């Protein structure tokens, strides 16, 4: 009986280097594309939520007009929403952006107020109320990409809703 001795060998070093090089190139090509997709998804999220917000605030205005254009509050889905003299949802010291968010958006994702210049880890959205005289502004930021951000602003005085953010370039 003859026994054959086999010497076990691993991968040669050159093969390992080539495999590592190929994996590095693959990662360098794919990683930026994944980041662009993430940015696009965050922008789409902010756009969808701002659209829902816009539709609801327009519904408040429609209800106000249907009631003769004089009430100071409108009932929407069993929630009382204060309105301006023009019939748009408004904010005050007693009714902030966080309350407006929850009352306008059906099944709104949770939001937490931005306070004392610091973002608090928590839910998906931050709300920031600016109520200085006639300048009434709500800023809603999607927290997924902090310190970069994407979200929208609601100007209560003229009912304008605009996307805002520090993510300015999305893949081309």
pLDDT value for 2: 53
Give the residue among 159, 172, 168 at the shortest CA–CA distance from 43: 168
pLDDT digits (tens, 9 = 90+) for 3-18: 565 566 666 888 888 8
Q: Band of the pLDDT at 63, cuts 50, 70, 90?
A: very high
Tokens standing for 88? 């748009």
DSSP label at residue 56: H
β-pair type (111-113, 160-165): unpaired
Max mean pLDDT range (3-17, 53-67, 131-145, 147-161): 53-67
pTM over 0.75: no
Strand partners, 83: 89
Q: Band of the pLDDT at 74, cuts 50, 70, 90?
A: very high
Give the residue among 91, 94, 108, 104 at the shortest CA–CA distance from 142: 108
Quick check: 139 and 153 in contact, CB under 8 A? Answer: yes
CA–CA distance from 159 to each of 5, 15, 21, 89, 154 (Å)? 84, 63, 55, 8, 7
Element (H, E) at 129: strand 125-132
Delimit the domains of the chain by residue range.
14-165
């Amino acid at each position: 009986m003859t026994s054959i001795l086999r010497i076990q060998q691993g991968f040669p070093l050159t093969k390992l280097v080539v495999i590592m090089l190929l994996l590095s190139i693959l990662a360098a090509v794919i990683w930026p594309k994944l980041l662009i997709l993430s940015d696009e998804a965050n922008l789409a999220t902010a756009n969808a939520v701002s659209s829902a917000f816009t539709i609801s605030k327009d519904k408040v205005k429609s209800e106000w007009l249907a009631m003769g254009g004089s009430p100071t509050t409108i009932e929407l889905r069993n929630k009382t929403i204060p309105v301006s003299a023009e019939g748009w949802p408004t904010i005050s010291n007693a009714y902030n952006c966080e309350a407006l968010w929850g009352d306008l958006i059906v099944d709104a994702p949770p939001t937490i107020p931005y306070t004392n210049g610091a973002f608090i880890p928590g839910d998906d959205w931050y709300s920031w109320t600016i109520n200085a005289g006639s300048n009434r502004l709500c800023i809603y930021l999607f927290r997924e990409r902090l310190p970069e951000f994407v979200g929208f602003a609601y100007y209560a005085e003229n009912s304008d809703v605009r996307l805002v953010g520090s993510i300015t370039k999305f893949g081309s």
